Amino acid sequence: MPRLPALMMPSSSYRLKQFTNRIPGQVYLWLAVPIFGASSALTRKITEIGAMNFVGGHNPISLCNVLFVGNLCALLVLVTIHRSQWNRATLSRISQREWVSLVVVAILAGALAPGLIFQALAWTPVTNVVLLGRLEPPLTLALSIWLLRERVDKWEFLGAIIAFVGVVLTVVLQPARANMLPIMGLSTGWGEILTVLGAIALAIATIVGKQRLARVPLGIYNTVRTGLGTLVFFCVALSLYGRYHFTDVLSPFLWQWMLLYGAIIVVVGQSFWTAGLRASSVATASIVGSFTPIFGILAAYLILGEVPTHAQYIGGSVILLGVILSLVGIKKRANCRQRVGAVDLEQSIESKMGFKGI
């Protein structure tokens, strides 16, 4: 049998692309979700490793360093993936109002919310952060009804209410810990408060995105949110903690672990998620993404040895019931969903996932 000329032989990259194109989008989503779910537990774990290996009297893997360097890794990935969207023709179609909205979203979702959640990880169990982060979907839904006059399926509405009750139960039934604060008759810690504030910031950012950024290409939206958010976080941290706060940001020990964190959470996780979104329906992505908190709780147990408390079992069970009811509404609405912008689509899905670590 005659051999094909070298020019006619398919390259290895072509064969790899053909192989990956045959993989169903759901597979990529199910690969990404456990990675995102484990992000909070991994963040806590590597900061604990840093606390046992001080450099110059400081923890080189502080939460601020993890967030800053992790965002830099995410930014490099986003620029690589979406570089084709950064051209003069595309940028010229973005209005001044949309650029202002992008800045607002970057501050809220790219700097404020991650900063609050990362600090919460230092003060409260990871499982609490995962469960209280479920406050974001019902908040987003309530704001959508109030500000955007959106019509919501009754199942989705009922699921949001039940999930909110689950979050409240998680707080109310918490066992007493040191440095807890009495707020409106309830005892809660600073970690829980910061997690709730982070969820509020993410919900507001989602509403701004839905209302004003539907026409903005997803690549530009994600890149600006991450890049500007990183810059804002860096400046705020310097103003709050002083100019020496990021002294250890170039520590080889930090980068040794951040390359692992960045490779798993940022590169692999984000790449799988993007590939899955492109090849899956809205309903499928929403259903799969809703399992992120479950993987987060499981990761907290396996990586950190956090055994769920009585309050977390009760609150988590109620939240899970709310998620299941919401998914019924999402499935029904997806069958008659009108065309929406890419930013609106991704935000609608990711608001149900919780914090992804970047």
Per-residue pLDDT of the chain (358 residues; tens, 9 = 90+): 555 555 454 555 545 455 556 677 788 889 988 998 898 898 899 888 888 888 777 788 888 888 888 888 888 878 888 888 888 888 999 999 999 999 999 999 889 998 999 889 888 899 999 999 888 888 888 888 888 887 777 888 898 899 899 998 888 888 776 666 666 666 678 888 999 999 999 999 988 988 888 888 888 888 898 899 999 999 998 888 887 778 888 888 888 888 777 777 777 887 788 777 777 776 777 778 888 888 999 999 999 999 988 989 999 999 989 888 887 777 666 555 444 556 666 666 665 566 665 5
Distance, in Å, from the CA atom of 215 to the CA atom of 212, rounded to the nearest integer, reads 8
Residue tagged 């995105």 (tokens): 209
Of 211, 164, 168, nearest to 192 (Cα)?
168
Distance, in Å, from the CA atom of 204 to the CA atom of 210, rounded to the nearest integer, reads 10
The alpha-helical segments, DSSP class H, found in 216-358 are 218-241, 252-261, 270-278, 282-289, 292-304, 310-334, 342-350
The answer to whether position 15 is within a domain reads no
The answer to whether position 3 is within a domain reads no
Q: Which residues contact 279 (CB under 8 A, 6 or more apart)?
A: 24, 25, 28
Return the structure tokens found at 156: 């989705």
Distance, in Å, from the CA atom of 158 to the CA atom of 217, rounded to the nearest integer, reads 32
Backbone φ, ψ for residue 279 (5° rounding): -115, 15
Query: Taking the chain, what is the end-to-end CA distance rounded to the nearest angstrom?
Result: 53
User: pLDDT at position 5, please?
Assistant: 54
The answer to whether position 4 is within a domain reads no
Residue 183, strand partner residues: 186
Residue tagged 């965002």 (tokens): 71
| C-alpha Rg value of the chain to the nearest Å | 21
Return the structure tokens found at 211: 């209302």
The answer to whether position 185 is within a domain reads yes
Decide if 139 contacts 200 (C-beta within 8 A). yes
Model-level pTM? 0.82
Decide if 330 contacts 281 (C-beta within 8 A). no
Decide if 248 contacts 58 (C-beta within 8 A). yes
The answer to whether position 307 is within a domain reads yes
CA distances in angstroms from 151 to 56, 96, 164, listed in the order given? 57, 29, 19
The answer to whether position 20 is within a domain reads no
Domain coverage including residue 186:
25-350
The answer to whether position 358 is within a domain reads no
Question: 5: burial class by Cβ within 10 Å (0-12, 13-18, 19+)?
Answer: exposed
Distance, in Å, from the CA atom of 242 to the CA atom of 232, rounded to the nearest integer, reads 15
The answer to whether position 51 is within a domain reads yes
Amino acid occupying residue 153: D
Largest CA distance in the chain: 84
Distance, in Å, from the CA atom of 178 to the CA atom of 3, rounded to the nearest integer, reads 75
Q: How many independent structural domains does the chain possess?
A: 1
